[in-house]
Amino acid sequence: MSSVDSHLVPLLEPSSRADAEPEPEPKYESRKLAWLKLSASIVAAVGLMIGGIVLSRLKNKVAGSATVHSIIPLGNLITFHMGPVFTLAATIITEIIGSVHATALRSTLINERRLSPNAKYRLGFNTNSRLFVASNEGGWTNPNGQLMNALMALLLVISYAASALIVTPIQIFEGPDYNTIENRKATSGLAAPPIIIFGLSLFLQGIISLFGTYHCGPYWLDSTDLVFTTKQQIDNHTIVPRPHRCMRNVLQGKSTTYPLTTPDPHSIPDSLKPLARQPSAWNANPTAKKAAITLWSLIPVYAVWGAIVYALSVYVSTGVSKSGHIKSVGIGSAKPSDFSWAFVPNINTLSFGVAFMTTHPLEEASLPSMAWPSILLVFMAIQSGLTLTLHYCEVIINTTRDECVWRRAVGDKGVSTVQQGLLRGIIVKALGSWRGVFLLVTKYFCHWLFAQSFQITGVFAQPAEVLAESHFTGMEVIAHCAQVWYLSALLIGFATITTLIAIYKPRGPQPAAYGHFQTLADLIDEWPPVKSALDDKSPSVLYWGHKSGLDKDGICHAGTSDRRLPPVKMDYMYGGELDPKWPSTAKKESV
């Protein structure tokens, strides 16, 4: 039986293979890092919920004797110092939970493909958007299914929205004239309801991801273990290496994987000369192209939103409801000299808002029963596009990261073929790629700036003749025009850099794969020998390059080895198969 036929046997009889091979037991050792991260995140979420509940039960006094519910004054601390803390917490914790959820989902999809070879293949690339790709098995109870993915997307939006509403600026007007800026004093406080909602959203995300780690099959396949995951699928006959494709990149060698059919052994693709430049991620992965287009489409939305805030602030600044409990707040002037364009909003920033008046202005102050839910829903609706689009852009960053990993095969150190360890996994995910750090920092600043553009402010009036008494006036929900436009400018810069990353064409003849598993399986024709535990100190790596000279048809072969290989010959045609004398040839031609 030929080598090609031996690869095709598992595909011809998938049911007999399933009967012959018992289901492997799940290996939980590699999930220790995931459980460690989830445990820390869930503990932090529970702490936030408990803290929010305790704070909501307290009655606090602001600049006098008026009692205020659900707002905890912070003394002289200002919003600029406290706001970034909660935005940073939301960014870090959601990224930690998201990394576990993404790994559980991709492990589930690969496992489903292993169990059912003719099922729809949903994981062609190593990188996918975890919120927009889901398992089709198990119904609504599947923690990696469509319903739970939709819930994870909703909870992600809630997390960022709630974290932005926690810090509440407080304005206190003193003296007989409450409407003059000269008599205004600014401080800040913490709002208990957003703290509770923030903690609850993080807790639910952690629980869903935790269940996902137990229902993703026996293999835990992390996205940073690109080559290891490819080898795992080849060993399980999930994908089958196709011959004569040693110089075909993801576009030249890409073909449908559904339904999984037996390739024709007599059908040999044409030989190719090596390319000096490879295709870009924009052309190789359709999802990367969609992500870039979505990001550019978001920019005019926020630019128009800023213009709407500007118009409302100028022309609708004195509206009052019939009940008198709700009124609009604006600057009422179109002169640029009348307001501030500072990066951080202040009392002179061009803004428009709605003020909810308290039902007990002289005694105990509290918001109307529907105020907090309404505020949160409005903020979620405005922010959801930003949150989900930034998440979607992970496809561009991680797809190009996968290609950088594969292209190490022509370098001095090669590309690793083993699964990451616990400590190395933490370091690689946190600082392993400048693209990942760039995306993480961008997420933080975009969400922080958006939080600055939409704020809740508590307004108090304190009579000058009775300094011990403070009357709660109301709660203002304010949108700042300048900060929305600054966010649009920041998104333009991010979109420009991200698009340049997406359209960049890697140099060199090594065929680009961008984490496409079938392409990698076609390009990797030889794997390093399996090493025992005593050999762990010596790395298991792959190198790619020229392997066999001209055959009888004048065709060369390129492939992989555990030893450094010479570069391919740019003027030769490639597409042949491995020379049976390869081991001796390798020793002769390797660098």
Peptide bond between residue 259 and the one before it cis (omega within 30 degrees of 0): yes
Between the alpha carbon of residue 357 and those of residues 54, 127, 183, 474, 542, the distances in Å are: 25, 49, 20, 4, 68
Residues paired with 184 in a beta bridge: 173
* Cβ atoms within 10 Å, residue 14: 15
From first to last of the 591 residues of the chain, give the pLDDT tens digit: 433 343 433 333 444 344 445 555 555 556 788 899 999 999 999 999 999 998 888 776 665 545 566 777 776 555 556 778 999 999 999 999 998 999 899 888 888 877 665 555 467 888 888 898 888 777 788 888 889 999 999 999 999 999 998 988 777 766 555 455 555 677 778 888 899 999 999 999 999 999 999 888 788 877 777 888 899 889 888 888 988 899 999 998 765 443 344 455 456 788 889 999 999 999 999 999 999 999 999 999 999 999 998 888 888 767 665 655 666 666 666 666 667 788 888 777 788 887 776 654 444 455 555 677 888 898 999 999 999 999 999 999 999 999 999 999 999 889 988 776 555 555 566 566 889 899 999 999 999 999 988 888 877 766 555 444 555 567 778 888 889 999 999 999 999 999 999 999 999 999 999 999 999 999 999 998 866 444 455 568 899 999 887 776 788 999 999 999 999 999 999 987 765 554 534 443 444
Quick check: 487 and 302 in contact, CB under 8 A?
A: yes
| Cα distance between residue 558 and residue 190, in whole Å | 63
Instruction: Report yes or no: 563 and 543 within 8 Å, Cβ to Cβ.
Output: yes
Q: How far apart are CA 405 and CA 80, in angstroms?
A: 39
Closest CA to 144 of 160, 128, 133, 159: 133
Instruction: Please say whether the dihedral angle defined by the alpha carbons of residues 280, 285, 144 and 214, taken in this order, is positive or negative.
Output: negative
What are the helix (H) ranges across 72-176?
79-115, 146-165
- pTM for the model stands at 0.84
